[in-house]
Structure 1
């Protein structure tokens, strides 16, 4: 019996996007809602041919949230399968800069929540782990 060839993983990148809380205490995290999946997650997407993970993460945050951002600490890479194919998503904690959200077919809502509320809203357990890692890096 022969083993099937290993499939090349889908490569993607994203960010756990944060900003100082408007109250002046702590931080708020950006979560996006994708109507296609009816889920809440961190901004992320597939890398284009020849695109670095960093460039992809910056582009995806801008496309999905309307915000530019500054990449901070690298977070754990998420590995899972999509339709039987392996997927690897490289993540960073990233501070939100300027810009404004505009709903699209891909992302129809953006919310800014304190860590506890954001953690409860996230759909996937792996996204909660990323949030925890990002919050841990923001403590000085």
Structure 2
């Protein structure tokens, strides 16, 4: 039985949110990281799915809630599985281009940062989140492939 078939699995979804960098350089994108004061960590925007919610719809909802930005979904990225508070957790991710919006701090997310991929990789708290940076960059989200 896969974790997706187990009703104890926490299902979540999120995006590796990117935008064209204001500076020139390769790959020419910045990634949005969120700071969650509850955990004092830096991660990609993500959250638990509502019962019956489509994972992509949930990912886009979480991006809007946590960052204030609309997102245009692209390629699905690898699913991340791990234990959270002793329960299996499965997070589906998509590459997503940032659209219009503005960040407003909340109890859930008090800061965001737009960082070059190398800086984002360094800032991310969990190593599993760093792998998603590499997965995003293979999709070429710079206007040359998507």
Deviations 1:84-135 (CA, angstroms, capped at 9, x unpaired): 1100000001000001000000000000000010100000000000111001
Deviations 1:14-60 (CA, angstroms, capped at 9, x unpaired): 00000000124400000000000000000000000111001100000
Contact 1:7 1:85 in 2 (8 A): no
Q: Give the equivalent residue in structure 2 for 1:107.
A: 109
Q: Give the equivalent residue in structure 1 for 2:57.
A: 55
**Matched residues in 2 for 1:43 and 1:24: separation?**
25
Q: Give the equivalent residue in structure 1 for 2:20.
A: 20
Count of matched residue pairs:
135
1:1-140 correspondence runs (5 A): 8-25=8-25, 26-138=28-140, 140=145
**Matched residues in 1 for 2:24 and 2:104: separation?**
25
Task: Answer with 1 or 2: which has the greater Rg.
Answer: 1
TM-score, normalised by the number of residues in structure 2? 0.89
SS at match of 2:51: coil
Aligned residues: CA RMSD: 1.1
Q: Runs ≥4 in structure 1, deviation > 4 angstroms? A: none
Unaligned runs of 5+ residues in structure 1 are: 1-5
